[in-house]
Amino acid sequence: MKVQVSASFKKHARKTILSIFVFAFTYIFLLLFAIGITIGFTFLGLLVFTSKPMFLTAIACIGLFASGLTVLFFLIKFIFASTKVDTDHLTEITEHDEPELFLLIHQIVNEVDTSFPKKVFLSHDVNASVFYDSSFWSMFLPIRKNLQIGVGLINAVTQQELKAILAHEFGHFSQKSMKVGSYVYHVNQIIYNMLYKNESLDNIFEKWGNVSGYSAIFIGISVFIIQQIQNILKYLYKYVNLNYLALSREMEFHADEIAAHVAGSKALADSLLRLGFANHALNYIFNFYDGKISENIRSNNIYHEQNCVMLLLAERSRYRVQEGFPQIELATLKKYDKSKLNLENQWASHPTDEERVKALWKLDIIKNNVSNEPAIALLSNGAAIADQISEKLFSHIQYQQVPATLNLSEFKDNFESQINRYTIDPKFNDFYDYNNPLLKGDLATAEELEELTFDELFADRKIESLYELNSLKSDKHIVEAIQKGDIKLKTFDYDGKKYRDIDADELLIKIENDILDITRQVDSYNYQIHHYFQRLSIAQERKEEFDQKYDDFEAFYKTFDESQMIYDDMNENTAFFFQTLPFGEIEARVSDLKRREVSFKKRLSKLLSLRENIQPPMDATLLSTLNKYINTDLLYFNVDEYKEENLQILLQAIAEYKRLLDDIYFSKKKTYLDFILRLEEDKTRQ
């Protein structure tokens, strides 16, 4: 298959090739410089020794020669380095194991006109990639690549979509022009090796330093020269990378076009939009089972559960389901992002999913006779390999006894019960995901409040205001960073208008005014909603309960910021535990921490008392540890050593404090919202 590269691809390829030549020229210059230093230091050392032969001049002669050699070694050590990809977490499969999957790979390889992978591996995650072990000589010798496919990906796509995804991966290696990227990759590896992978050089300096005290002088000379070379390489690394990353983004578009010719635009676009959602579902499952370790419960097959969670989340998000898979629309994803700020990210290696999907729509390559069967059906024996990979994942976890497994029905009930505890009812149309049901600003009178229905109170246009408010706040932080110089940009676009960095002050005023306007609007929505449910509670003779639940949440919310500040303060003032400090400074900081602990322990004790009424109950061992922390004056440092056991109790208490704070806050909010929803449901039954 021959897919022509774009003009933009060619432009960035030329720039990248130029950067390779600049690197090669600079490197040759530095290498000749190092050879010159080595020869010069050798002659100087011999001259010093022959002019006055003695022990010190012999040391000087050897030291100067060694200094020159270490600088030279620094510049050539990458030749001996290699990057070996760790495959311990992967499961290798063969054509005998999975004939149908290999048949699909053969078809793609033939259509793309590339070589078959050396090995094929399955992983547990939602991903696909081509990888290989590399070294300096990889730039000159042909290397066969390995293919890695995540079962979490196979489980979340159709066979046609899997074909598109794999065609994209092989597309990276199907054109000769794509080899430019490979060369730049190795140039980057070389520079990275000289900048950041200097363990071998450090070992040489350590051994050299142990030989004689005089070695420090010559080590210092070597280090000084190497640091100057590294300063040059840092600028070169940035220059090469900026060109490479621009080319990398073009390579993604190019590989997408190849995939579209193989499997059609729709298959790749649909899978791109779904994979983030599928990964989100899988992470939900991992988090669920992390919480079940203490109960000695594990999964039987995470991929059956992934399907279950995807469909459950799709139902809650009102996504259309087709052929058993949620269909994620670009417009649906974009509704959360109302940012008006447009920054070109020079350091992004990939274009955004939105950019890729729009490019695929523009290609509009249609394929007939597509297979919309689940890709997981390609795996043999009812995807028995998925059971093996699930088993492998949980085999690394230390359970206190032989763990039990949940069948799919039990998992669904458990998972849905847990997610219900930590999610707002979808009937509120996401209104309270980004908003609290609190009255702020000037109190509106009943005469000013419009009489609306439940559906009108939570209409899409009102939720749009919340998305816009969040995006404005995000835009404000970024523009502030541009104003301070933390983000280096000469120009940027906002709401379709180009701004210079010096115009950031003016733009911030506009953004802040917009935030103020929408905040007032949201406040008025909260008054309308409160008034609506207050009237309902009066009509149902439940106003006292309504007021009590509202006041309970409001009272806790008012202390939330202060509680959060206490957590931040404890986090900040325990960071020194992970630093190397003089004993005197450690004692002073521990003493200061002890003073701060007084208010922290009081607030933690208060949170524990509030937590008693919230389900599920806290683990008895954890509760005992927290009570020990609150009621005991723990010693953290004694003379010249930390008391590790006590430090672990302290750090666990800080982490649990934050979890309790967020848990109680959400529980009180949800309790109030569930109550007002029951008021509405009772009204409709009457």
What are the tens digits of pLDDT across the range 657-673?
999 999 999 999 999 99
Across residues 38-65, what is the average pLDDT?
87
Q: At what angle do helices 265-290 and 302-317 cross, to 10 degrees?
A: 110
Q: Is 615 left (phi over 0), alpha (psi -120 to 50) or beta?
A: beta
Q: What are phi and psi of 422, to 5 degrees?
A: -120, 20
CA angle 118, 124, 130 (to 5 degrees): 30
Q: Which residue in 172, 173, 180 sits closest to 19, CA to CA?
A: 180
Q: Quote the CA–CA distance of 216 and 225 in Å, as a whole number.
A: 14
Q: What is the pLDDT of residues 363-387, one digit of tens each?
A: 999 998 888 999 999 999 888 999 9
Torsion of CA 558, 563, 565, 567, to 10 degrees: -160
Q: What is the mean pLDDT of residues 492-506?
A: 88
Q: Per-residue confidence at 336, pLDDT binned at 50, 70, 90?
A: confident
Report which of 153, 174, 157 is spatially closest to residue 108, judged by C-alpha positions.
Answer: 174
Per the model's pLDDT, the better-predicted residue between 488 and 35 turns out to be 35
- Annotate 79-129 with three-state secondary structure: HHCEECCCCCCCEEECCCCCHHHHHHHHHHHHHHCCCCCCCEEEECCCCEE
pLDDT value at 640 more than 90: no
Which amino acid does the sequence have at 664? I
Q: Ramachandran region of residue 441, left (φ > 0), alpha (ψ -120 to 50) or beta?
A: left
Q: In the prediction, which pLDDT does 487 show? A: 82
β-bridge pairing 325-327 and 320-322: antiparallel
Instruction: Report the Cα 189 to chain-centroid distance in Å.
Output: 23
Structure-block tokens of residue 431:
């209104």
Local structure of residue 405 (DSSP, 8 states)? E
- The band of 137, judged by pLDDT with boundaries at 50, 70 and 90, is low
- The Cα 513–Cα 481 span in angstroms is 18
Q: Is the N-terminal amide bond of 582 cis, ω within 30° of 0?
A: no
Q: Tokens 């088993």 belong to which residue?
A: 391
> 390 with 303: CB under 8 angstroms?
yes
Is 80 exceeded by the pLDDT of residue 58? yes
pTM for the model stands at: 0.80
Angle, in degrees to the nearest 10, between helices 7-51 and 179-196: 30
Q: What confidence score (pLDDT) does residue 449 get?
A: 65
| Letter string b/e over residues 531-552, b meaning 16 or more CB atoms within 10 A of that residue's CB | bbbbebbeeeebeeebeebbee
* For residues 634-647, average pLDDT: 92
Give me the helices (H) in 291-379, please: 302-317, 330-334, 353-363
Task: Grade residue 13 by pLDDT with cuts at 50, 70 and 90.
Answer: confident
> Pairing relation of β-strands 637-638 and 641-642?
antiparallel
Angle of the 199-211 helix axis to the 215-263 helix axis, nearest 10? 170
Most confident of 4-8, 77-81, 267-271, 414-418: 267-271
Average pLDDT on 544-550 reads 96
User: Is a pLDDT exceeding 60 seen at residue 289?
Assistant: yes
Diameter of the chain measured on Cα atoms: 111
> Contact at 8 Å (CB) between 514 and 536?
no
* Phi, psi of 174, rounded to the nearest 5 degrees: -95, -10
Q: What is the pLDDT of residues 441-498, one digit of tens each?
A: 665 555 566 788 999 999 998 999 999 999 999 999 999 988 888 887 788 889 888 8
pLDDT, residue 444, reads: 57
Q: Report the pLDDT value the prediction gives residue 91, as an integer from 0 to 100.
A: 93
Nearest to 608 by CA among 594, 591, 628, 589: 628
Crossing angle of helices 543-572 and 644-685, rounded to 10°: 160
What pLDDT digit, counting tens, does each position of 142-191 carry?
Answer: 677 889 999 999 999 999 999 999 999 998 876 555 566 667 777 777 88
In this predicted structure, what is the pLDDT of residue 135? Answer: 62
